[in-house]
Amino acid sequence: MCGMPQQPPVRSSATRPRRLDASMSLITNVMDHSLDDGYAEAAARKKSWGEGGLPKTLRAKLGLAGGLVLAALVVTVGAAQARIAAPVVAKEHQELIDRVDKETADADKLQGGVDKLRDDVSARQRAALRSSGGSAEADLVGMLSGATEVHGPGVKLVVNDAKEASSGGDGTNPRETAGFSDTGRVRDRDLQRVVNGLWASGAEAVSVNGQRLTALSAIRAAGDAILVDNRPLVPPYTVLAVGNGPRLSSDFQNSGDGLYLHALEQNYGIRATISTEHDVRLPAAPSVIVRTAQPVPVPDSADAKNSKNAKNDQNSNNSKNTEKTEKGTS
């Protein structure tokens, strides 16, 4: 027994034994169901042809093609209508441009007539005042009120926006909460302080971008635009002031308004240059309207004579009454 090899023990497996016909299932399926799928597919195809007339896939393709054709038709019709309407729109646009040009030309013509009449009135006023000996006072009043053109030594101050102005912010900067979209832009209150500083420093007449300032002038903002007497200005803002040039320049730069302008240069990049000029010329104000004051009516010669005679008669009657009273008393 020792010389005989021992056989390993055979362990029973828990798997079920394979069926004897398991390898025959494919052959059985082919034999039993070989034609069923083909018949079913042919019947479904025949049914679809009978209901819709076309296969579903082809019908979908035709529907897509029809939609594309319809879209192309709509685009074509729209383009044709736009092409037809383009000349009409262009004609209306050109008519509007012509109308604006015509109205502008008419306004310029009327403004020229106004300027001519204003010059005529000024000449007549000067002639009348010269004949009465009040020409010097009239010239002074006209200069101070802005009614006449003036020239003389003074200063030229040019204020411009920053080259690279930063916009936006958290709203804590007071320059960001005044309606302007850019903190590096010149504001209406900046220009107000500049003009007031020049007046306080001794300026006798001031203009901004050719607009003469008077006692009734207003500098305000409309959006990002600065208006002077309701006329919009564009930067750079050129401020001309008539006065003692060197002294006016020095006093302005050392004043609080001049230091304010310098702070704008340092903090916000706003550009400003001031220079003395030997002769600056300021135009007259477009309109000088007196709102309250009224001229004293001057009586003519006949009225004055009648008034004098009436006064003499009244004095004579008063003297006669006085004499009668004295006689009665005595």
Q: For residue 168, give the CATH number of its domain.
A: 3.30.70.1880
In this structure, is the dihedral angle defined by the CA atoms of residues 322, 323, 324 and 330, taken in order, positive or negative? Answer: positive
- Output the pLDDT for position 84: 78
246 and 169 in a common domain: yes
Asked whether residue 101 falls in the same domain as residue 156, the answer is no
The Cα 272–Cα 172 span in angstroms is 25
The alpha carbon dihedral of 56, 57, 60, 66 has a sign of negative
Reading the block at residue 23, the tokens are 């390898």
- pTM of the predicted protein model: 0.52
Which residues have CB under 8 Å from 236's CB, separation 6+? 158, 159, 160, 161, 271
Say if residue 247 is in the same domain as residue 166: yes
What 3-state class would DSSP assign to 279?
A: strand
Same domain, 163 and 277: yes
- φ, ψ of residue 226 in degrees (nearest 5): -105, 130
Note the pLDDT of residue 168. Answer: 44
Please tell me the predicted confidence (pLDDT) of residue 177.
46
Predicted pLDDT at 327: 45
The verdict on 158 and 261 lying in the same domain is yes
pLDDT of 321 = 53
Q: Looking at the domain assignment, is residue 310 inside a domain?
A: no
| 177: phi then psi, degrees, rounded to nearest 5 | -115, 20
Q: How many domains does the chain have?
A: 2
Instruction: Tell me the residue range of the domain where 96 lies.
Output: 50-133
Residue 20 CA: distances (Å) to CA of 16, 27, 28, 56:
12, 14, 13, 46
pLDDT confidence of residue 17: 58
Domain-located, residue 33 = no
pLDDT attached to residue 270: 92
Per-residue pLDDT at 289: 72
CA angle, corner 283, sides to 282 and 289, nearest 5? 125
In whole angstroms, what is the distance from residue 196 CA to residue 88 CA?
Answer: 53
Query: What is the structure's pLDDT at 328?
Result: 46
Helices 36-52 & 56-132 angle (0-180, nearest 10):
50
* Distant-in-sequence, close-in-space partners of 217: CB < 8 Å, separation ≥ 6: 211, 228, 229, 285
Of 214, 208, 203, 206, nearest in space to 231 by CA: 208
Amino acid (1-letter code) at residue 10: V
Contact between residue 152 and residue 248 where contact means Cβ atoms under 8 Å apart: no
Q: Report the pLDDT value the prediction gives residue 261, as an integer from 0 to 100.
A: 94
Average pLDDT by stretches of 10, the chain with 330 residues: 50 54 62 65 67 60 82 85 78 87 89 84 75 67 77 94 62 49 81 95 93 89 87 91 94 94 92 93 80 72 58 58 47
